[in-house]
Amino acid sequence: MPHATEGDLHAYLDGALSAIEDGAGERLAAHLTRCADCRARLDEERAIRDRAGELLGVALPAVEPPPFETVVGGSTQPRRSRLSTERLAWAAAVVMALGAGWMGNALLRGSADSLISPATPALRDSVIQTGADADLRAEIASPVGAEEREQPGRVVEDVVGGEASELQSRPPADLPAEPSAARARVAGEAVSTDEPGARRDLDAVAGTQAEAIAPDSERFADKAVEVAARENAKEPRLTESDEAVAWRLIDEGEATAWLGRAPLTVGGLVIVSFEGAVSEGVRVLRVKQRLPGGEDLVLLQEVAGATDDLAAGGGLERAERQAVAAAPVVASEEETRDRAEQLGQTALPRNLIDGVWVTLQAPLASDSLRVLLSHIR
């Protein structure tokens, strides 16, 4: 019998050689009695095999199965109340300080429809029932999706219950300075945080803001931004590279070209800016729109298929490897929650609308974000 290959030796150690070929195990055993070289190689391979098993044993320990009944209970009732790190990063929601606080309360209690008041000429009700909506509903309705939808709500309660009072006294650090004047004005007008009172004030403020918001003919909140974007368009266009993310202000035309289709926006809200960037070789678009309370809504978008069907030639492999490699060093749950709270923002990730993956972020409760989500076109 010729000398054993590496593969044979490992199969032999795994007790699988005879499963591959009848009698192969016995033949190899016989050869080993006669061949010192192969015996030495067997020892080497055995050491490698053992070491690999040891490492995997530490990294992937055996766990006791929880009772089968917890599984039968259904996937919408997770066994744990503690969420995985990444999910908490998305789901941490805070009812924000000062100006947004009273509005946030009103929105949390489900009066979000008054956010888009028919009395306000600049805010049009623009829900469009398309196939995309059905896709969206299906996406949300799938078991995993339903789970995610429920959990953010629960975490809102957890976080708001525990930390709301502390946070309301501390304005979020990274909201732009400019709207703080608007927020202060809004806060001054809010008489109380009672539900009926808030709703009344919300309507009143919405009316006031309507005048402050540019008339229908102007989509951009800030003329200067629009001009800057057009200036940028004259320079070399965005290109793909693996460099660090650098957001580039662009105009709507280039945004459409960049994304490969018309950008998703929430109907009725003025646009603050379009920005493009490349991250991990994927084109992403960041659209900012102005909310009635003065804060910004961010819609982070990328076309579906950017990572979903990477060529078999290494793309998904690389992404998966990175995901595996990066996973162990994700920040601890506490750190992530603290950061999310400091940011004072809610993010609704992973919504597929009309072939575009969009993540919404705004200083609003997740329920309100979902209302906005339904107004995307």
> Residue 311 interacts with another protein (CB under 8 A)?
no
State yes or no: residue 289 binds another protein (CB under 8 A).
Answer: no
CB of 273 within 8 A of CB of 300?
Answer: no
CB of 263 to another protein, least distance (A): 15
Q: How many helices (H) and strands (E) does the chain have?
A: 16, 6
E strands of the chain, at which residues?
248-250, 271-279, 282-290, 296-303, 346-353, 356-362
Give the whole-angstrom CA distance, residue 362 versus residue 322.
28
Strand 346-353 relative to strand 356-362, pairing: antiparallel
Member of 200, 350, 354, 367 binding another protein (CB under 8 A): 350
Residue from 88, 284, 356, 372 that binds another protein (CB under 8 A)? 284
Closest distance of CB 321 from another protein, Å = 5
Q: Which of 119, 186, 174, 229 is nearest to 340 (CA)?
A: 174
Residue 330 C-beta: closest distance to another protein, Å:
7
In the 8-state DSSP scheme, what is residue 110? T
Distances (CA, A) of 148 to 71, 144, 297, 301: 17, 6, 21, 20
Q: In Å, what is the CA distance from 173 to each residue of 83, 95, 176, 334?
A: 26, 14, 9, 19
Residue 302 CB, nearest approach to another protein (Å): 8
Least distance (Å) between residue 266 CB and another protein: 17
Name the one residue in this structure whose structure tokens are 């991250």.
Answer: 279
- Using CB under 8 A, which residues numbered 162 to 191 contact another protein? none
Contact set for another protein, span 14-33 (CB under 8 A) = 14, 16-17, 19-21
Comparison of 270 and 284: residue with beta carbon closer to another protein: 284
Site for another protein in 353-372 (CB under 8 A): 357, 359, 361
Residue selected from 156, 190, 270, 347 as contacting another protein according to rule CB under 8 A: 347
d(CA 3, CA 292): 78
Q: Is 291 in the site for another protein (CB under 8 A)?
A: no
Least distance from another protein to the Cβ atom of residue 39, Å: 17
Query: Among the candidate windows 93-101, 120-128, 196-204, 324-332, which touches another protein by CB under 8 A?
Result: 324-332
Query: In the numeric block, which tokens belong to residue 360?
Result: 């919404």
Stretch that binds another protein, among 25-33, 59-67, 255-263, 369-377 (CB under 8 A): 59-67
Among positions 109-168, residues that touch another protein (CB under 8 A) are 143-144
